Structure 1
């Protein structure tokens, strides 16, 4: 599950009323009192041990008064209420008026309390409340809709002097940093539509002493929600912790955020020759079968000399069709025949051989076979490694076929790759993967 960088999400109720007109008091809202409010530190606390970048905005000292977002709570009617306190700090002149921003991202104009001597003007709710130099009042705003916690403007007028600062509120001032970790199949340092990534990989975000982490989603993408400012986004340089993948891009970005930032991608290339050697010398244990095994399984499906029923084989072939990319494998109505044609037809080109070995590899992986790793002294299937290898192999196949997901950049890269790079190294890699022990 994606963690939002400010670790808070709120649902907000927006009341509908005429701009500038007062509305009747809501008794429930007026019953909110100081004793019932949670401590402000509870608003941005979290159970994950991360430092919250927004905690500095829980309260604001402004022109002789302290403004605190005391609480926000979800009600049975589907609304969420923000509760603020405004308290004097002992300055001689008393409060003339108090404003809270109503940001556009919050939608329609909200309801609030108290409503006496208040109105909406210029995207702000204004209260003409007289609060003594050491007095305290509570103000509430209720919104509708799923609106995230953000940073809004708060303004105090005291002694005829107007001053403003920022405080926690709905949705405003929060931006996204996003990107992906991806297998750079053609090593061009640019993410192509055919080059996906791996889920569960840690991406770091830092700003001075603050640090947070998210895990990539299943396709390798990630996202942080942050405030305006300068950040560093980074990954470790060793993908999957096995030193068989090296970075083709930078592994750290310095990001200045004044709006949403996209495309902060981290590319890794497969060290094909190194991995092949480790397959062959047993450094990477394998439990796989070669293409001849799969020809026999498909031909004899449902018979005693096959481990698969016809239904099982059709399900396995459907899983291969829906694996990573729409290509290279779509088997049509007669899946077994089409798969057999790929596995057993005469090899007349590098591409024929590569597709034969790739289909074999995908049948191995989707049937629960593949490379293994040692965990606590036991061999376990290395699913992340196997997935990364298939991401690489499918992207190379679509480049060779000229059938990668269409984008002009992808087409240009594809043309260059086809002209300058053969499949020979990749054929050796995938064939070595398929020539495992068949049972460790």
Structure 2
């Protein structure tokens, strides 16, 4: 027997109602905000992610699925979606296309992480990218969409944390001060953070290891180093969030480690998920287009891990199955009439099914029970001769006779179709 790959999960039909709730909400809300869907390749040239994510990050160094193509070039399964969207906009010269200013995507991503609750080697993200806008209003619109998405799913214990990274020039002086603070703490830091002091010092602030968080409690705060333009931008974002009644918490430790990130950065967590409680994050990345060979272009977006959203999804959000009918056609006349009735009902928008392997009423009813069919239409030779069928409620066992010609209309009314 061949087994699936560790950390790459099947999604059986029993779990699809939950996925449908989340994905339908994503499509509905993104489109209501004016975002249009884009679909990008599952694998890209490796250099795209090395340049966009950063060669000194854990994702590039340890987690990417990279493999050689037949021509010797290096390809990588996408670990995130933003880089592919930006590459597509640059390559096809879509940056100034008004229909491509606001884009969203839903699909699988791949990272070689240690599988754990809500974190897999193949996982799914919903993300948005808003391109070409420098206004704080764009930041607020993206944050609003993120918050409304989670709120519409009634996820419990939501917290929005927000910070400003300022402009790259704001961070130059801050990095010097931060490195000066961190070097005397070298022995108190984890091995990753010791390496980050020289390669990516801001990431030390974001480390979740207890000893690192304790050692950096008194670290200088990035917001104290922001210039006037950066402060004004951030204050406008916060004022607009308050106007929209979106609660937030300021978190000066919330950072991004790469220079193309700027200004607003944010993250949403959910209290029901324990220690690994982040379910969505984003921010401005005004420098990424240049990094990938494009013209300077402001942009802001977010990405959401759908598996973690599903872990927090309340049971009340999972819909009850739509009513449908099982056709129990048996006997020479009943079987033939059952095939015709299946087609008629489906053409009328009524979900109908049967078991083509069963030929007796007893076995057909058993199959209907196994499928949890709410209703069964019994159609034997006698019923066909009398031009009717028996509708059985499988829960109450109540039965009623219905004329064959009236079945579609009757069921539409019964199922409120």
Per the TM superposition, whether the score is higher than 0.5 is: no
Bin the TM-score by the shorter chain: under 0.3
Bigger-Rg structure (1/2): 1
Query: What TM-score results when the alignment is normalised by the length of structure 1?
Result: 0.21
Higher-helix-fraction structure: 2
Give the number of the structure whose residues are more often strand, by fraction.
1
